[in-house]
């Protein structure tokens, strides 16, 4: 069963009152999608949307598998240094496609595959704790950065490399480093060349948040035994459907158009992604970066646009966020991710027949409970006129995860066209970076320093 998107509960008619997308609005969406599809096709043809090619990139896949094979059986731990797109994809892959609590399992239960640790921040407490705990002599360090110069990742690299050299010596440390970075530009590439450090390429036309199906995601995944061919096969199958110019047959197009219309026509600026599977929780976190950094932009006419993505987890967030979704402002959509085929999993024992709060559960399963709760939440939202949709995948497996990655990436490209923004840059994060460089004394940041110094200083009247 391929991935399925049910958007009945987004539409007027099924939803009560004035809620939901009307036939006229849907017709507008279909018209705008035709143009968006053509724009994405043209951008891809001009060579700028490299993420579209990744599911079929056999050369990158083989290069990645060769590096992974080189380290098979030689390390117990893999430490990934990266941030943003360089960390969120690997985390999502590990959570979805390795057993729960992977790093806590013993060697036998990991079938000899290494643990995977991800440092995606520069909190000194986390880094010190990681270095204190890791068996550095048996650890492979992946430094992942498209630009090859991101301040957080570079700081981590300098610290971890020193610790690694302290543990295994200079020459051996070089052999225990792999860089994943741009093939030409950036400090990491230069260091790799100068010191003969193994490096894999992130294609120049693939940006960080669109890189999970490149060696950024595939290398750490392959190192811990994930079926990366299956991930790419799932992405390729999704690509075959999502390239269609017919909106009605294109799930990525439908997702993009629904969210865009909900935002533009119904004020649904907040867009929650709520998988009902612990293994998919980190896909929601990955989606947040993709959707937010791609679509939160200033348009050519000067107006600011962009939906606010919100990660949630079913059933856990039924006890945290669903109250807000039901009765708070009607400014949200909720997209559930359901997993089929779990009806038989996790049987609940029949006990306490005498107690109404317990007796009815006996004979059901956790898989059924989770899906019933999802359906109940979707139905309750619909009954209140709250827009929601459901993506169903056949299982939490490699093809489904590949398909979800691809679906959301292509939907983001379509949504960029619908919102009339460039989904592939992030100018809004530049100023903060420049200010940080200026305060750290990076050469070339003098202009930013002057701008920083001209900012208002903290005013005692407004402090408490």
CB of 336 to ligand PA5, least distance (A): 26
At what angle are helices 398-419 and 281-295 packed, to 10 degrees? Answer: 20
Token readout for 171 is 């020459």
Choose between 146 and 241: whose C-beta lies nearer to ligand PA5.
146
User: Among 201, 293, 409, 417, which residue sits at the site for ligand PA5 (rule: CB under 6 A)?
Assistant: 293
Q: Which residues contact 117 (CB under 8 A, 6 or more apart)?
A: 77, 78, 79, 80, 103, 130, 134
Q: How far is the CB of 210 from ligand PA5 (least distance, A)?
A: 7
Beta bridge partners of 310: 272
Burial of residue 178 (CB within 10 Å: 0-12, 13-18, 19+) is: buried
Examine the residue annotation and report whether 146 is marked as an active-site residue of this protein. no
Alpha helices in 98-227 (DSSP H): 124-133, 151-168, 170-175, 187-195, 215-223
207 binds ligand PA5 (CB under 6 A): yes
- From the CB of 165, what's the least distance to ligand PA5, in Å? 23
Which of 50, 90, 208, 309 touches ligand PA5 (CB under 6 A)? 208
Cα 48 to the center of its chain, rounded Å: 21
List the catalytic residue out of 152, 293, 371, 409: 293
**Identity of the residue, 392 or 434, whose beta carbon is nearer to ligand PA5 in the bound complex:** 434
Which one of the spans 147-155, 252-260, 321-329, 368-376 is the region binding ligand PA5 (CB under 6 A)?
Answer: 147-155
Q: How far is the CB of 91 from ligand PA5 (least distance, A)?
A: 13
The per-residue b/e assignment along 402-421, b for 16 or more CB within 10 angstroms, e otherwise, is bbbbbbbbbbbbbbbbbbeb
Reply yes or no on whether 44 is catalytic.
no
Q: Between 153 and 333, name the residue whose CB sits nearer to ligand PA5.
A: 153
Please report whether residue 150 would count as binding ligand PA5 according to CB under 6 A: yes
Q: Can you read off the two tokens belonging to residue 163?
A: 């610790």
In whole angstroms, the minimum distance from the beta carbon of 362 to ligand PA5 comes to 48
Give the dihedral of Cα atoms 217, 219, 224, 230; nearest 10 deg: 70
Tell me: does residue 390 bind ligand PA5 (CB under 6 A). no
Residue 84 or 90: which CB sits closer to ligand PA5? 84
State the Cα–Cα distance between residues 174 and 176, nearest whole angstrom.
5
Site stretch for ligand PA5 (CB under 6 A), options 58-66, 91-99, 145-153, 310-318: 145-153
| Interatomic CA distance for residues 17 and 1, integer angstroms | 34
- Our CA angle for 298, 301, 307, nearest 5°, is 35
26, 11 in Cβ contact below 8 A? yes
**Residue 337 structure tokens:** 């991710």
Between 86 and 139, CB nearer to ligand PA5: 86
Task: In whole angstroms, give the CA distance from residue 109 to residue 10.
Answer: 43
Q: Is 162 a catalytic residue?
A: no
Which of 153, 156, 271, 321 lies at the binding interface for ligand PA5 (CB under 6 A)? 153
Overall residue count recorded for the chain in this entry: 464
Closest contact distance (angstroms) between CB of 130 and ligand PA5 is: 19
If one asks whether residue 145 binds ligand PA5 (CB under 6 A), the answer comes out as yes
Looking at beta carbons, which residue is closest to ligand PA5?
A: 208
Binding mask 159-198 for ligand PA5 (x = CB under 6 A): ----------------------------------------
Which of 146, 332, 342, 374 touches ligand PA5 (CB under 6 A)? 146
Out of 138, 269, 364, 433, the active site residue is 433
CA 375, 380, 383 angle in degrees (round to 5)? 125
Which residues are paired to 198 by β-bridges? 178
Q: Which two tokens stand for residue 423?
A: 């989904």
Cα-only R_g, the chain: 24
Number of chain positions touching ligand PA5 (CB under 6 A): 14
Q: How far is the CB of 306 from ligand PA5 (least distance, A)?
A: 15
Site residues for ligand PA5, window 48-107 (CB under 6 A)? Answer: 83-86
Instruction: Give CA–CA dist 265/210, Å, rounded.
Output: 28
Of 146 and 374, the one with the shorter C-beta distance to ligand PA5 is 146
Candidate list 98, 115, 209, 374; residue touching ligand PA5; CB under 6 A: 209
Q: Which two tokens stand for residue 64?
A: 């990645």
- CB 208, min distance to ligand PA5, A: 2
Instruction: Please report, as ranges, the residues that interact with ligand PA5 according to CB under 6 A.
Output: 83-86, 145-147, 150, 153, 207-209, 293, 426
Q: Give catalytic residues, as residue numbers.
A: 293, 319, 433
């Amino acid at each position: 069963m391929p991935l399925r998107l049910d958007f009945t509960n987004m539409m007027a008619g099924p939803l009560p009152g004035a809620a939901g997308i009307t036939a006229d609005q849907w017709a507008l969406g279909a018209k705008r999608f035709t143009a968006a599809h053509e724009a994405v096709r043209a951008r891809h043809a001009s060579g700028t949307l490299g993420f579209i090619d990744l599911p079929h990139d056999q050369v990158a896949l083989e290069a990645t598998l060769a590096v992974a094979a080189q380290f098979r059986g030689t390390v117990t731990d893999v430490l990934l240094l990266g941030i943003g797109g360089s960390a969120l994809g690997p985390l999502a892959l590990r959570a979805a496609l390795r057993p729960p609590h992977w790093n806590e399992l013993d060697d036998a239960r990991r079938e000899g595959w290494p643990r995977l640790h991800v440092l995606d921040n520069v909190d000194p407490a986390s880094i010190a704790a990681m270095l204190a705990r890791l068996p550095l002599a048996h650890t492979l360090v992946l430094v992942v950065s498209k630009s090859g110069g991101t301040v957080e990742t570079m700081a981590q690299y300098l610290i971890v490399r020193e610790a690694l050299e302290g543990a295994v010596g200079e020459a051996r440390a070089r052999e225990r480093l792999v860089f994943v970075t741009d093939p030409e530009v950036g400090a990491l590439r230069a260091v790799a060349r100068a010191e003969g450090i193994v490096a894999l390429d992130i294609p120049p036309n693939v940006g960080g948040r669109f890189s999970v199906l490149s060696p950024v995601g595939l290398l750490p995944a392959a190192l811990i035994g994930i079926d990366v061919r299956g991930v790419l096969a799932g992405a390729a199958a999704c690509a075959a459907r999502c390239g269609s110019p017919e909106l009605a047959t294109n799930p990525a197009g439908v997702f993009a158009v629904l969210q865009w219309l909900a935002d533009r026509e119904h004020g649904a600026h907040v867009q929650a992604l709520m998988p009902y599977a612990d293994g998919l929780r980190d896909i929601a976190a990955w989606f947040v970066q993709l959707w937010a950094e791609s679509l939160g932009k200033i348009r050519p006419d000067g107006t600011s646009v962009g939906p606010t993505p919100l990660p949630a987890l079913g059933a856990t967030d039924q006890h945290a966020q669903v109250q807000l979704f039901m009765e708070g402002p009607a400014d949200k959509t909720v997209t559930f991710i359901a997993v089929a085929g779990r009806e038989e999993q996790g049987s609940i024992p029949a006990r306490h027949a005498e107690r109404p709060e317990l007796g009815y559960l006996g004979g059901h399963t956790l898989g059924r409970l989770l899906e019933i709760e999802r359906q109940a939440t979707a139905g309750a939202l619909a009954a209140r006129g709250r827009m929601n949709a459901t993506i169903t995948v056949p299982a939490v497996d490699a093809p489904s995860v590949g398909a979800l990655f691809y679906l959301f990436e292509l939907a983001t490209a379509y949504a960029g066209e619908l919102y009339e923004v460039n989904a592939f840059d992030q100018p809004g994060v530049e100023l903060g970076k420049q200010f940080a460089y200026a305060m750290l004394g990076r050469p070339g940041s003098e202009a930013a320093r002057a701008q920083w110094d001209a900012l208002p200083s903290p005013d005692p009247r407004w402090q408490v």
